[in-house]
Amino acid sequence: MWIVPEPHDNRVVPQAPLLPYRNGLAPLRIRLPHGDSAPTVLAWLEREHPDDPWAASMVAREVVDEKGRPWNPESAYAPGRFVHFYREPAPEVHVPFELDILYDADGLVVVDKPHFLATIPRGMHVTETATVRLRRLLDCPDITPAHRLDRATAGVLIFTRPKELRRPYQELFSEREVLKEYEAVAGFDPSLEFPRVVRSRILKDHGVMVAREEPGEPNSETRIELISNAGSWARYRLFPHTGRTHQLRIHLSSLGIPIKGDPYYPVYTRTPADDFDTPLQLLARAIEFDDPITGERRRFESRRTLAG
């Protein structure tokens, strides 16, 4: 099992990697299993993962243990120990949209993320992510997101530069101390009254692409305001109080007014990885909060517009 030491939610503050980041990417690690009789670490790695150049990497001192000590080709097999190493990521479809920087000072980097760009390296999206692009662009391997936006959602995304700022800014989001304002283009139903608050219970199973609503105690809440309408489409302002997976998309779809360009709700439709023609019309318009370091009120706004 490969373990990628990247932050996966707002509560996680990863330890410093035992190998430095390379090209914006953290090293990987694997644990040597118990019950194997391989004579050396190299023999086990070459047997289990033959496509990697283990011997050359060991000679280059790019394969280390859990204390940062290099494994060498003669190192005896050690069950339960860790191997940290680099791996070249698989080729990915390039996302042909720029990551615009809105603010870069005081240890914060605020970007205007385009549609189709994931926030963190995970699954099939590794190099084509906002985190890796920003690390490479600013030559700063410690850059870490304070929160996340879905790959399909564009807009304001906050990163921290120094490691010591990760926790205070990530906790702003995990403790719901941030005012998040979104904008969406979705269907229009004249029978619906706005503003309104939608509350529901949203669950998502691991490995399943879509989330679902179920009866029971609500765990999600969104305030929805109507900005304007034209024909069968309307523009909405959304204020999520919680941050469940696909919450805004599900809440609008549950009202019978799904977001324009949404391939997930109400019906999941698989789209090719290189199809950038129909972006989801959902934008993280603004983020506002009391700075945990200075105490001043901060507000960052996206410069992007939705197609309508």
Rounded distance between C-alpha atoms, residue 11 and residue 173, angstroms: 9
Q: Please state whether 10 falls in left (phi above 0), alpha (psi between -120 and 50) or beta.
A: alpha
How many whole angstroms separate alpha carbon 58 and alpha carbon 83?
Answer: 11
Distance from C-alpha of 102 to C-alpha of 140, rounded to nearest angstrom? 17
CB under 8 Å to 272, separation ≥6 — which residues?
A: none
d(CA 127, CA 132): 6
Task: Return the pLDDT at 122.
Answer: 86
Q: Which CA distances in Å does 104 have to 143, 149, 206, 264?
A: 12, 19, 35, 34
Cβ atoms of 201 and 215 closer than 8 Å: yes
For the segment 237-259, the average pLDDT, to the nearest whole number, is: 97
**pLDDT tens, position by position, 101-136:** 999 999 999 999 999 999 999 888 999 999 999 999
SS3 label, residue 21? coil
Q: First vs last Cα of the chain: how many Å apart?
A: 44
- Predicted TM-score (pTM) of this structure: 0.85
Mean pLDDT of the chain: 92
Residue 150 falls in the annotated catalytic set: yes
Q: Tell me what pLDDT residue 141 has.
A: 92
Q: For residue range 199-230, what is the model confidence (pLDDT) as tens digits?
A: 999 999 988 999 999 999 999 999 999 999 99
Q: Residue 207 has what pLDDT?
A: 86
CATH architecture of 90-175: 2-Layer Sandwich (3.30)
Q: Which secondary structure element, helix H or strand E, spans residue 274, and what is its range?
A: none
223: its two tokens:
């305030």
Contact yes or no for 246/228 (Cβ under 8 A): no
Q: Where are the domains of the chain?
A: 28-85, 90-175, 178-308
Q: How confident is the model at residue 157 (pLDDT cuts 50, 70, 90)?
A: very high
CB 98 within 8 A of CB 111: no
**Of all helices (H) and strands (E), which one includes residue 30?**
strand 28-31
Write down the pLDDT at residue 123: 82
CATH superfamily of domain region 178-308: Pseudouridine synthase (3.30.2350.10)
Give alpha helix (H) positions in the chain. Answer: 41-48, 54-59, 130-138, 166-174, 247-254
Whether 59 shows a pLDDT value over 80: the answer reads yes
Q: Catalytic residue among 100, 104, 142, 150, which?
A: 150
